[in-house]
């Protein structure tokens, strides 16, 4: 089954690449705006051989990884505290619902005023966007705790942190891993967006330079790199999720299928 799915995926990708080659060659779109696949691949080869490309890739991954790590840590800690401390959930509910819908890109002027084009500007946007993905999932996970299990833990004399460790955390972990997977994708989007708009060092800034200098094939090649990077991050996040939840029924059922 997996082999058939892989073959279908490869066939779909090949058809997409062939379409990208044919459309500009047939004159359906101008090559100046949408170059053929072969030109994009050639430009990608030139980018990979350039040391500046790898420096930009490292800058993007640094902003992504640091911002994601901060967001995960803060989201888990704040989510558990809000859920465990009495009345704190009710006291913070309106604040969370007010802040969460604010688009991260709306904070770009603030980031520029505070940090200019430094890495901290990228981190501000990445952390803000990714934090909510984790926090909301933690809150949902805590709400899903079985009341009977909670009362049983209390009757056995388990303290608050023991209940968190043995009852709350195992129930919330699947939700946390979902939040981490979503946050990983959001963090990459915001890292590249911040570099593109603010001009912070990274792939986004390199895309902006290619666009402004009319190096269209190079621009598309860099966009392809960001897409491949997002794919790798998603696959990696799913792999970590499966390993962390190997004991969970959903993952065990998925493996059996």
Residues 6+ apart with CB under 8 A from 23: 29, 34
What integer is the mean pLDDT of 54-68? 95
The predicted pLDDT at position 249 comes to 64
What integer is the mean pLDDT of 166-192? 90
SS3 72: helix
- More confident site: 59 or 154: 59
- State the Cα–Cα distance between residues 172 and 165, nearest whole angstrom: 10
User: Which residue carries 């897409």 as its tokens?
Assistant: 227
Model confidence pLDDT, tens digit, residues 79-133: 988 888 878 888 888 888 888 888 888 899 999 999 988 899 999 999 999 999 9
Model confidence pLDDT, tens digit, residues 124-177: 999 999 999 999 999 988 888 777 777 777 776 777 677 777 778 888 889 999
234-248 in b/e burial notation, b at 16+ Cβ within 10 A? eeebeeebeeebeeb
Global pTM value: 0.86
The predicted pLDDT at position 234 comes to 92
Model confidence pLDDT, tens digit, residues 199-219: 899 999 999 999 999 889 999
- State the Cα–Cα distance between residues 121 and 62, nearest whole angstrom: 13
What number of other Cβ atoms are within 10 A of residue 257's Cβ? 6
The predicted pLDDT at position 250 comes to 59
Q: At what angle do helices 203-212 and 216-244 cross, to 10 degrees?
A: 160
Q: At what angle do helices 169-198 and 203-212 cross, to 10 degrees?
A: 30
């Amino acid at each position: 089954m997996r082999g058939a799915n892989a073959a279908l995926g490869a066939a779909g990708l090949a058809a997409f690449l062939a379409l990208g080659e044919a459309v500009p060659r047939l004159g359906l779109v101008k090559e100046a705006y949408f170059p053929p696949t072969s030109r994009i691949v050639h430009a990608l080869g030139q980018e990979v051989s350039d040391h500046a490309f790898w420096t930009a890739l490292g800058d993007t991954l640094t902003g992504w990884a640091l911002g994601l790590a901060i967001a995960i840590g803060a989201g888990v800690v704040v989510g558990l505290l809000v859920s465990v401390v009495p009345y704190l959930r009710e006291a913070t509910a309106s604040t969370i619902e007010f802040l969460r819908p604010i688009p991260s890109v709306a904070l770009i002027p603030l980031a520029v005023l505070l940090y200019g084009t430094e890495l901290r500007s990228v981190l501000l946007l990445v952390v803000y966007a990714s934090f909510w993905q984790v926090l909301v999932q933690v809150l949902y996970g805590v709400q899903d705790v079985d009341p009977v299990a909670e009362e049983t833990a209390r009757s056995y004399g388990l303290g608050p942190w023991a209940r968190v460790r043995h009852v709350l955390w195992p129930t919330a972990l699947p939700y946390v891993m979902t939040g981490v997977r979503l946050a990983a994708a959001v963090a990459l989007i915001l890292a590249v967006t911040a570099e593109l708009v603010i001009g912070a060092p990274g792939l986004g800034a390199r895309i902006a330079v290619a666009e402004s200098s009319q190096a269209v094939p190079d621009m598309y090649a860099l966009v392809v790199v960001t897409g491949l990077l997002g794919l790798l991050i998603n696959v990696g996040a799913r792999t970590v999720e499966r390993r962390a939840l190997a004991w969970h029924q959903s993952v065990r059922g998925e493996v059996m299928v």
